[in-house]
Chains A and B, each alone.
Chain A
């Protein structure tokens, strides 16, 4: 049973527009959420995170929104750039159980110039 779901396998966006990547989770005990970015044949790199006590966290062009009642989070990238083209993984953790992460299947983002 997938506890973290990214239902869109891919997303295509025009350069300069907003990219919105979505993630749903089922485990209400998750209290920390992260987004990782991954290029082919490389390891994921940490992008941005949010604790369950917040509903928004912003870092430059990247903003993560958390809706706990809907068990949903989203990553907004504004403006999108061609270099943002990568696979984006959503991950979640129960801090009580330490650093174990549960990952979604990923969404391939393509930013067209």
Chain B
């Protein structure tokens, strides 16, 4: 079955620790994204990658880092510099930006809930 997996589903970390969230997709999508959701708010874009070894900051990249060494994987590291890391994190993927007015919708994983103790 094609899809996006995120692990773990629930994650706890102590304040001051870095933590890495996993995101893997087998949809053969070129583009991948990380979002954060807080209560009563929409999804906010953290980082996105359109191709292997390339990624761009989204709207709230401070305190986060990513890598894209493989097409299938786009891990997100929440660093100790992120001041308010407790949130629900969602990974998504899509076909590569097509241009010419064509839009490719994003498919989401099940999410990881991170709680900082």
Contacts and interface: CB of A to CB of B under 8 A. Distances in A.
Interface stretch (B12-20, B63-71, B78-86, B98-106): B98-106
Contacts of A43: 4, 6, 90, 92, 108-111
A103 B58 CA distance: 13
18 contacts: A31-B101, A41-B88, A43-B92, A49-B105, A91-B42, A93-B103, A95-B99, A98-B31, A98-B50, A99-B97, A99-B104, A100-B45, A100-B48, A101-B45, A103-B35, A103-B42, A104-B42, A105-B40
Interface string A74-105: 00000000000000010101010011110111
Contacts of B55: none
Interface in A39-62: 41-46, 49, 51
For chain B, which range describes its interface: under 10, 10 to 19, 20 to 34, or 35 or more residues? 20 to 34
A73 to B, nearest CB: 15
For chain A, which range describes its interface: under 10, 10 to 19, 20 to 34, or 35 or more residues? 20 to 34
Interface of B: 4, 6, 9, 31, 33, 35, 40-45, 48, 50, 58, 88, 90, 92, 94, 97, 99, 101-111, 113
A95 B103 contact: yes
B88 to A, nearest CB: 8
B109 to A, nearest CB: 5
A42 B31 CA distance: 21
B76 to A, nearest CB: 14
B111 A89 contact: no
